[in-house]
Amino acid sequence: MTVAARASIRLCKELDRLKEEVSEMSILLGLVILFGCIITGYIMHHGKIAVLMQPSEYIIIGGAGLGSVIVAFSFKGAIGILKGCISILKGNPYKRSTFLEALQCMYDLFMLGRKEGLIALEKHVEEPPESEVFQKYPSFLQNHHAVDLFSDSMKLVVMGGISTYDLSDLMEIDMEAQHEEAMKVPDMLATVGDAMPAFGIVAAVLGVVITMQSIGGPPEELGEKVAAALVGTFLGILLAYGVFMPMSKASENIAKTEAQYMACIKHAVVAYCRGDSPLICVEYARRNIEPELRPGFKELEDMVKGRSSSEGDGEATAEAA
């Protein structure tokens, strides 16, 4: 391989790393741009920030939103939304490197089962946290849903007596249940987002009621009360279309990527149960990854064989054949 080719590979890897770092900060960056541009434009029109500081409006809208969540989804649902928002701000955990670790871990275990027999896999799938193989891949080991799906399915393979089709159906049922659980936070955020404009109108109407009570007062006082009422409408619309709806979509995207991650595990395990070679098993998993995150075949081949990109690919090709 030429020096230019090696430099190109290193550059591509560095760009992928930078893309992952930027992706982690994209939600926070988006919120900063959102609020920054709104506040900046408001100030450019000679607006006063102090006018936006209306604690009573925040209490009405925030309290109404929290109460509606508790009514619809219970107090546990409100805690779930809070945890979901915190996790969303951390960015999508399913990156290219995360998929690569999962593929490498499964390949190592499949190779172990091929060399030493299925019985050698039993201790690894029974206690994944104690497995020296799983410990080498922390992002995979820390994903409890993924580890449970893989280890529980591999236990059936080790025990024997289950067909490929039955195993596939069983894993599909598990994945559907997990995806339904993952979609709860996006659904709750979308529900709150739908309600925010209405709560903003409620706050504005209450502000108008207060204003009408002071209709005989000085114009300055009436203006302040009308401004406070309009802040409620502004806040409700902003939270709906600037915060809750985008965060709902971001959470939904994470859930979709998680579904791809689980599907990778399913296709690899089913292929192994069918008797395919370890490289072919992880190749089935690789093809399930969306193109933006999917590693190339040679990249996967070099990774699972534990060699640099400059070495030949004869050994892996021979195994695949």
Q: What tens digit of pLDDT does each residue of 136-168 get?
A: 999 999 999 999 999 999 999 988 878 999 999
Indicate the Cα dihedral angle 171, 173, 174, 180, nearest 10°.
140
Q: How many Å apart are CA 91 and CA 269, to the nearest integer?
A: 28
Report, in angstroms and rounded to the nearest whole number, the Rg of the chain calculated over CA atoms.
27
Q: Pick the residue with more confidence: 75 or 270? A: 270
Q: How far apart are CA 280 and CA 290, in angstroms?
A: 18
Give the chain's mean pLDDT.
83
H-helix or E-strand spanning residue 215: none
188 and 69 in contact (C-beta within 8 Å)? yes
* 131 HSE (CA, 13 A, CB side): 24
pLDDT tens profile 102-115: 999 999 999 998 88
Contact 320, 276 (CB under 8 A): no
State the average pLDDT over residues 48-64.
87
Q: Are 154 and 125 in contact (CB under 8 A)?
A: yes
Residue 94: is its pLDDT beyond 80? yes
- Contact status, residue 81 vs residue 72, Cβ threshold 8 Å: no
pLDDT at residue 284, as a whole number:
92
> Other CB atoms closer than 10 Å to residue 110's CB: what's the count?
24
- 285-297 confidence digits (pLDDT tens): 999 888 888 888 8
Domain boundaries, the chain: 54-321
Residue type, 43: I
Cβ pair 254, 181 in contact under 8 A: no
Mean pLDDT, residues 243-264 taken together: 92
**Type of residue at 209:** V
